[in-house]
Amino acid sequence: MQQPAPGEQVFHLVAGVSATDPRQRVIYGVSRVAIGAEVTRSKPPSPGHWGDAEAYFRIALADFSELAVKLPTDEVEASLSDIILADLSERPKHYPYAPYRDGFRGAQGIYLAKLSPALTEAFRAVIGFSTSSVKHVDEDGARGAIREFAEGERARREGAFFKRNPTLRAAAIEAHGLRCVACSVSFQETYGPLGEGYIEIHHLNPLAERRDFLNAEPTNTKVEDVAPLCANCHRMVHRRRPALSLDELRDAIYSASAERYGRA
């Protein structure tokens, strides 16, 4: 409670809004810290088990904005699971999530949590289209945007990885060639000089599904851990989570071809 500084953004998570599920939490609105924590002896409206305390911390907020669509936090958390799991490898202080089995859950006993910079940026992007200033927002559109952000974030992170690791990309092309290993397309054969040297490199164990991946830290990847895919196949392999294996992608291509051309 003593940590927040003036100007920092606050995300308000509220339960009891949904008529069908009173326990469901939603992202209700956003505000900012106006004044840092102050000690007061005035009892808050609903102190709960703190009602007998002699003094309380109070944080003054300003510029509250209610979201036009109250997005369920479990859906938002699921769409941002890549970032949360990455954060948990070196869990920040006052972080709102804790490791649980193969995933995560809400941390216990934290009244006011602190998001990491990456998760703060992600929350802002997700709620960007649900603020009351956006016209004609509907629930389906907002939820579709969550999914779009999640897919875009995965692509951005994997693309950034290879931009920082040109040596791995070059080694992968030398080892595997420039032909898509799923559909056999060659950009140079298809587009001539325009496609020369172009191919996308796919992690067989996708970065977005690896708990040890952090944007700012090195990730150990060998040439055997990646494969060349054309842009279409690369997008298709990530349309499922977990991502399709190369064999599953090849089976999908073969089945679609067989159905189209009537092969047995």
Where a domain ends, among 121, 153, 185? 153
Residues 118, 189, single domain; the answer is no
Residue 184: per-residue pLDDT: 94
What is the residue-averaged pLDDT of the chain?
79
Residue 160 lies in a domain: no
Q: Which domain holds residue 190?
A: 165-261
Chain-centre distance for alpha carbon 35: 31
18 and 140, same domain (yes or no): yes
- Residue 57's SS3 state is strand
Q: H or E stretch including 35? A: strand 25-40
Residues 113 and 144 in one domain: yes
Query: Confidence class of residue 132 from pLDDT cuts 50, 70 and 90?
Result: very low
Is the pLDDT assigned to residue 141 strictly greater than 70?
Answer: no
Quick one: 138 and 176 in the same domain? no
Buried b (16+ CB within 10 A) or exposed e, 187-209: beeeeeeebeeebbbbbeebbbb
Is 32 among the domain residues? yes
How confident is the model over 221-241, as pLDDT tens digits? 788 888 999 989 988 888 776
pLDDT band for position 246 (50/70/90)?
Answer: very high
Do 145 and 169 share a domain, yes or no? Answer: no
pLDDT at position 213 over 50: no
Domain check: are 103 and 146 in the same one?
yes
50 torsion bin: left (phi>0), alpha (psi -120 to 50), beta (else): alpha
Residue ending a domain, choose from 153, 179, 194: 153
pLDDT of residue 168: 75
- Give the model's pLDDT for residue 135: 39
Tally the domains of the chain: 2
Helix, strand, coil shares of the chain, percent, nearest 5, are: 40, 20, 40
Higher pLDDT, 211 or 128: 128
Cis peptide bond N-terminal to 242, omega within 30: yes
Shared domain check, 122 and 46: yes
Same domain, yes or no: 43 and 142:
yes
Q: Give, in order, the Cα–Cα distances in Å from 104 to each of 49, 206, 236, 256.
A: 27, 19, 27, 37
Asked if residue 10 lies in contact with residue 31, where contact means CB atoms within 8 angstroms, the answer is yes
Examine residue 159 and state whether it is found in any structural domain, yes or no. no
pLDDT at 187 over 90: yes
Identify whether residues 143 and 172 lie together within a single domain: no
**Domain identity same for 84 and 141:** yes
Is there a domain that residue 183 lies in?
Answer: yes
Q: What is the mean pLDDT of residues 86-105?
A: 85
How sure is the predictor about 88, in pLDDT bands with cuts at 50, 70 and 90? Answer: confident
What is the phi-psi region of residue 61: left when phi exceeds 0, alpha when psi lies from -120 to 50, beta otherwise?
beta
Domain match, 81 and 115 both: yes
Residue 4 domain flag: no
Tokens representing residue 85 in the block? 């799991």
Q: Are residues 204 and 138 in the same domain?
A: no
